[in-house]
């Protein structure tokens, strides 16, 4: 996902640079505004319709199915591995530090004192899942680990002076 985000941004920025270059390189010449304004304002309507269609497609494509797990649902221990996670200034507690790959994990995450951010990183330091750890609320994060290995837990919400040392580890073992 991160590389797609980068490519979209890079492509969009380069296209915009191209449009601005075209306009700026054509700015010194002087031409009567009315000679082209009607044509280009008519193009604006098409540009608007294109953006609406693009937005509709993006909305449907990215929100169905909805990417955030249901918080009302009760996740059974038969189908889900369960880990209770609590964020404290400045450490994590987890009911277990070992899960298996291939079976979904339900992380039940709270902030014991202030807001924290529960971020799960793989061995290549890629962020694979996250959720806020909030006081007074239990956030249910569902994630299935595809690969076994040592995952790292970092805090992703600023929580005070030792925010950056709030780290823990999660072992993901291969399923039998």
Partner 1 sequence: MSTTTVSNKISYSEAENQGALVAVKAHLIAAFLVFLLMMLAGATLRAAQGNMAPIGADVFYQFMTVHGAGMIGIAAIAGMAVLWYFLRQYVPLSTKIFWINFGIFLTGVVIILGSVFLGKYGGAWTFLYPLPGISMGAWSTGAAAAFLLGLLIIGTGFLILLLDFGRAILSSYGSFGRALGLPQLFGKEPLNPYHPATVVAGTMVLIVDFIGIAAGAVVLVMMLVNLYNPEFKPDPLLVKNLIYFFGHVIINVAIYSAVVAIYELLPRYTGRPYKTSKVFYAAWFAIVFMVMSVYPHHLYMDFPMPKWAMIGAQILSYGSGLPVMVVTGYGALMLVYRSGIRWNTSAKLLMLSIFGWAAGGIPAVVDSMVSFNRVLHNTMWVPGHFHFYLLLGVLPMIFGFTFYLLNGANGAQEEKPPLTERLGFYSFVGGALLFVGGFLASGASGIPRRWAVHLEEWVPYAQWSTLGAVLVIVGVLLFTLRVLTVLPKAPDPALAPAH
Binding to partner 1 in span 101-140, by CB under 8 A = 111, 113-115, 117, 119, 121, 125-132, 134-137, 139-140
Q: Which residue number, 16 or 174, has a Cβ lying nearer to partner 1?
A: 16
Are 95 and 84 spatial neighbours (Cβ–Cβ below 8 Å)? yes
Residue 67 in contact with partner 1, rule: CB under 8 A:
yes
Residue 150: helix, strand or coil by DSSP?
strand
The answer to whether 2 contacts partner 1 (rule: CB under 8 A) is yes
* Positive or negative: CA dihedral 129, 131, 133, 138: negative
| Closest separation in Å from C-beta 176 to partner 1 | 30
Pick the binder of partner 1 from 53, 162, 174, 175 (CB under 8 A). 162
List the interface residues with partner 1, window 10-49 (CB under 8 A): 12-13, 16-17, 19-20, 23-24, 26-31, 33, 36-37, 40-41, 44, 47-48
Q: Does 147 bind partner 1 (CB under 8 A)?
A: no
Token readout for 82 is 């369960």
Q: Tell me, by CB under 8 A, how many residues bind partner 1.
A: 78
- Closer CB to partner 1, 59 or 174, in the complex: 59
If binding is defined by CB under 8 A, does position 63 make contact with partner 1? Answer: yes
Residue 129 burial class via C-beta count within 10 angstroms: exposed 0-12, middle 13-18, buried 19 and up: middle
Instruction: Output 31 or 79, the one with its CB closest to partner 1.
Output: 31
From the list 84, 77, 129, the residue with the least C-alpha distance to 111 is 84
Minimum distance, C-beta of residue 82 to partner 1, in the bound complex (Å): 16
- Annotate 42-96 with three-state secondary structure: HHHHHHHHHHHHHHHHHHHHHHCCCCCCCCCCCCCCCCCEEEEEEEECCEEEECC
């Amino acid at each position: 996902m991160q590389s797609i985000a980068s490519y979209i941004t890079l492509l969009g920025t380069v296209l915009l640079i191209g449009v601005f270059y075209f306009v700026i390189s054509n700015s010194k010449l002087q031409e009567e505004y009315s000679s082209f304004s009607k044509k280009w304002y008519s193009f604006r309507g098409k540009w608007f319709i294109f953006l609406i269609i693009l937005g509709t497609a993006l909305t449907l494509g990215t929100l169905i199915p909805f990417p955030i797990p249901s918080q009302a649902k009760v996740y059974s221990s038969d189908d889900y591995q369960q880990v209770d996670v609590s964020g404290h200034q400045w450490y994590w507690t987890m009911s277990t530090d070992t899960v298996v790959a291939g079976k979904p994990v339900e992380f039940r995450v709270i902030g014991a004192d202030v807001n924290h951010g529960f971020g799960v990183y793989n061995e290549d330091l890629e962020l694979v899942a996250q959720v806020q750890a909030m006081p007074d609320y239990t956030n249910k994060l569902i994630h299935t680990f595809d690969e076994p290995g040592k995952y790292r837990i970092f805090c992703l919400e600023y929580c005070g002076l030792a925010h950056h040392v709030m780290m823990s580890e999660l072992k993901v073992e291969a399923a039998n």
